Structures are given as C-alpha cells and as structure tokens.
C-alpha cells in the first residue's frame, strides 16, 4: 500500500512542494523558510518540536503552529490553528503557505488521492514535467 507525506490532522491549510536535495539542503531550506515567514509574519517565532512522529513544528505564535514534513521527495508545510484563542482560525486563514513551500522546490497542488493512499499533484505554475506530463505522485515522483 502506498502512502504520502504526513500532515497534522488538525491542519487548516497545507501547501506542497517537490524536494530534490540531501539532508543538509533540507535543513537550509527550513531555515530560509523560517526567516521568510518571520519577515512576513513578525509574531511567529522559531520552535523545534514534533506533532506526532512525522510533523516537525518549526514556527509558532499564540494563534498557530507551522509544521514541515518530507516523504520521498514530497514536502508538506501545514498550519495548525492554536487552541483556546477565538482569533486562531481567522489568523490562519490570512497566512499564505505557497510562498513558504517554494523554498523547498516547485510548489504543487493536490489534485486527489487514490484508494491506496497515493496522492497526485499538479505543478502550481501549471507547467507539467516528467516523461508523460501527468504530474507528481507521492509514490513515483514525476510522471
């Protein structure tokens, strides 16, 4: 059975991208994404904890937590509303994750999930890649 990149079940929004580097490149991309997010949303601060086993919380404020996870070259950046604050959902809806996910690679849009758990994505810019031009899957990469 196939699977895809993990996202927190409480996430209100998720952005996806391809990733074609090594562990050090990934760490650098996380740092660059954190810096960019903090410039755009000054109330965010860096954090370093885990939500579950696969979702790395890297930014937070009282209204949200932003996580990063990677699986087989697919990256997910998710925002999880904070609990206990009535403004959390409203604040999270104003955060645009797509510019943040682009630090990892080409931004993708989720098009659907097969019954085996494999997800299929389309490039956010609409320009298809791969030999068949069919998009990106969480199992096979570019098709």
User: Mean pLDDT per segment of 10 residues, for the chain of length 143 residues?
Assistant: 78 93 91 97 96 94 96 93 88 94 92 82 77 66 66
b/e code 103-138 from CB counts within 10 Å (16+ = b): bbbbbbeeeeeeeeebbbbbbbeeeeeeeeeebbbb
Give, in order, the Cα–Cα distances in Å from 23 to each of 3, 28, 61, 99: 21, 9, 27, 21
> Which tokens belong to 135?
């998009």
Please give the angle made by the CA atoms of 57, 71 and 128, to the nearest 5 degrees: 115
């Amino acid at each position: 059975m196939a699977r895809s990149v993990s996202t927190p079940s409480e996430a209100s929004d998720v952005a996806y991208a391809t990733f074609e580097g090594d562990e050090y490149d990934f760490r650098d991309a996380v740092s660059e994404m954190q810096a960019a997010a903090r410039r755009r949303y000054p109330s965010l601060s860096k954090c370093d904890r885990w939500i579950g086993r696969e979702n790395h919380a890297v930014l937070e404020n009282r209204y949200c937590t932003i996580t990063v996870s990677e699986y087989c070259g697919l990256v997910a950046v998710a925002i999880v509303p904070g609990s206990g604050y009535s403004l959390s959902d409203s604040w999270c809806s104003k955060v645009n994750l797509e510019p943040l996910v682009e630090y990892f690679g080409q931004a993708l849009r989720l098009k659907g999930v097969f019954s085996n758990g494999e997800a299929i994505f389309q490039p956010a810019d609409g320009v298809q890649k791969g030999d068949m031009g069919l998009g990106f899957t969480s199992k096979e990469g570019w098709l």
